[in-house]
Amino acid sequence: MYQFQYFRPKSLDEARKLYENNGDAKFLAGGQTLIPTLKQRLAQPTALIDLGGIAMSGIKVAGGVVTIGAGTKHFDVASSADVKGAIPALSHLASHIGDPAVRHMGTLGGSIANNDPAADYPAAVLGLGATIKTTSRTISADDFFTGMFETALEEGEIITEVSFPVPEKAAYMKFPNPASRYAMVGVFVAKTKGGVRVAVTGAASSVFRESAMEAALTKSFTPDAVAGIKVSPGNMNSDLHGTAEYRAHLVTVMAKRAVATIA
Amino acid sequence: MPSVAMTVNGKAVSGEVETRTLLVHFLRENLRLTGTHVGCDTSQCGACVVHVNGKAVKSCTMLAVQAEGAQVTTVEGLTQDGKLHPVQAAFKEHHGLQCGFCTPGMIMTAVDMIRRIPDLDEKTIRAELEGNLCRCTGYQNIVKAIEAASKEMKGARA
Ligand SMILES: Cc1cc2nc3c(=O)[nH]c(=O)nc-3n(C[C@H](O)[C@H](O)[C@H](O)COP(=O)(O)OP(=O)(O)OC[C@H]3O[C@@H](n4cnc5c(N)ncnc54)[C@H](O)[C@@H]3O)c2cc1C
Ligand code: FES
Ligand code: FES
């Protein structure tokens, strides 16, 4: 790891000021992505601004919306009776991120700010049509994830909470990479007030909505409705874990299985 | 250099560290608590698992400065008055180790899961061991040891 300065501000204002006054600073949340990255010397920030001292965690359910603070650990989402009651698919998803030690540290805000192509949370955020609140605005899920490890966040902008509208029903099915447990392919299917949403992670450079499946499930919310849909391997990832064709096939299989659990 | 202070195995400790010093290196090098191991460079093997404020975490994936003010327990802190912790005793009894490299992390992970989950079955134990790798045992006896310790500790609480 390269050397850096370390700050632990007590407020968002202080955090933003530190960011402005330090050339190449980075925010640190649970560190479960950032610290491995620093260990590999894949990043060289001059300063780390630890968000851990700022009160940004907690779960509220009110008015058909589950609001989760950006600093809330995966473990706390996975074990919250409120989340389980309102959106069981979200609690299931959180309980399958990495391993218990990772879940004790990793946070919702860190996961979506990072937007790893194989991360789980982006599928729920996009699949449920969540809203991301930051230090300067609110961003809809459809506008938030812009590319591989890319989001709509601007320099120094901090995610403070994410609001998930409670769907009629929803399910997440992931085919985990057997070594890392990240998603080879993960499909989040939700029947919401605004229609059916299908979000796919792991398969391409960034999470995306599968519109052909959304249309088919709108007509008939059954596993058979998606079983026949062939996803084009054109934009899929191809690596030592699987070819683009394999991933494209997995999207259909995972979608079918997700729908089967709630149809 | 920044200084850091925390409680480790019930004792107040402090030391000078670099900001980039990992918690595991603070424990091993500053405090000479070499029970906690480093097995990988990728946050995957779990040999470094310790408890921070009562929760199992990978001490290779946390900065020492992040643990400022925290309560830390390492494998050395489990033994009370020279008596093995029930999980340690179960690993011995059920042959839950061969080379022993993964063992401190396995034990700290086991203690954490037993505390959180009242009725541990084999399937749950295996899922909870997701972040701990063992290159020797094939896990069979580790799972057996955890199951036995969980039953015994539950009996002791009842
Ligand atoms: C062994 C292992 C297995 C894993 N398996 C999975 C898995 O199966 N599925 C999965 O989805 N993830 C997995 N992860 C990643 C894990 O979920 C991380 O916790 C998560 O990706 C990042 O969250 P963090 O809080 O640790 O963020 P950090 O690592 O601290 O930060 C990540 C990035 O987000 C930025 N950031 C953090 N918080 C904010 C904020 N509030 N506002 C703006 N920017 C912010 C940081 O500057 C940094 O660039 C795994 C990690 C490990 C080590
Ligand atoms: S040394 Fe920490 S996970 Fe391998
Ligand atoms: S006993 Fe050798 S690695 Fe587990």
The structure tokens 């094939």 sit at B138
Residue of B94, B129, B134 with the most ligand 3 atoms within 8 Å of its CB, for mutation = B134
Q: Which of A48, A100, A179 sits opposite B109 (nearest CB)?
A: A100
Pair (A74, A24) in one structural domain: no
Taking CB atoms and an 8 Å limit, are A4 and B19 in contact across chains? yes
What is the overall mean pLDDT for chain A? 97
| Number of independent structural domains in chain A | 3
Closest by CA to A256, choosing from A171, A194, A167, is A171
ipTM > 0.90, yes or no: yes
* Pair of tokens at residue A92: 């299931």
CATH no. for residue A154?
A: 3.30.465.10
Per-residue pLDDT at B158: 64
Three-state secondary-structure class, residue B69? coil
- The fraction of chain A above a pLDDT of 90, given in percent, is 97
In tens, the pLDDT along B141-150 reads 999 999 999 9
CATH no. for residue A22?
A: 3.30.43.10
- In the predicted structure, residue A180 carries a pLDDT above the cut 90: no
In tens, the pLDDT along A36-94 reads 999 999 999 999 999 999 999 999 999 999 999 999 999 999 999 999 999 999 999 99
In tens, the pLDDT along B85-109 reads 999 999 999 999 999 999 999 999 9
Residues of chain B falling short of pLDDT 70 = 158
For chains A and B, what is the number of CB pairs under 8 angstroms?
Answer: 74
Domain boundary among A165, A197, A223: A165
Q: Which of A1, A36, A100 sits opposite B131 (nearest CB)?
A: A100
Q: d(Cα A214, Cα B44) in Å, to the nearest integer?
A: 36
Element (H, E) at A175: strand A169-176
For residues A98-111, one letter each, b for 16 or more C-beta atoms within 10 angstroms of the residue's C-beta and e for the rest, the string is bbbbbbbbbbbbbb
Range of the domain at A121: 59-165
Pair (A65, A160) in one structural domain: yes
Closest by CA to A183, choosing from A97, A65, A94, A86, is A97
Domain boundary among A165, A187, A215: A165
CB neighbour class for B103 (10 Å; exposed up to 12, middle 13-18, buried from 19): buried
Q: Which domains does chain B have, with CATH numbers?
A: 3-77 (3.10.20.30), 86-157 (1.10.150.120)
The pTM for the full model equals 0.97
- H-helix segments, chain B: 23-25, 86-93, 103-116, 122-128, 140-157
Pair (A89, A112) in one structural domain: yes
Please report how many Cα atoms fall inside a 13 Å half-sphere around the Cα of residue B3, on the Cβ side: 4
B46 lines ligand 2 (CB under 6 A): yes
Q: How far is CA A217 from CA A193, A212, B71, B87, in A?
A: 14, 9, 50, 50
Pair (A194, A236) in one structural domain: yes
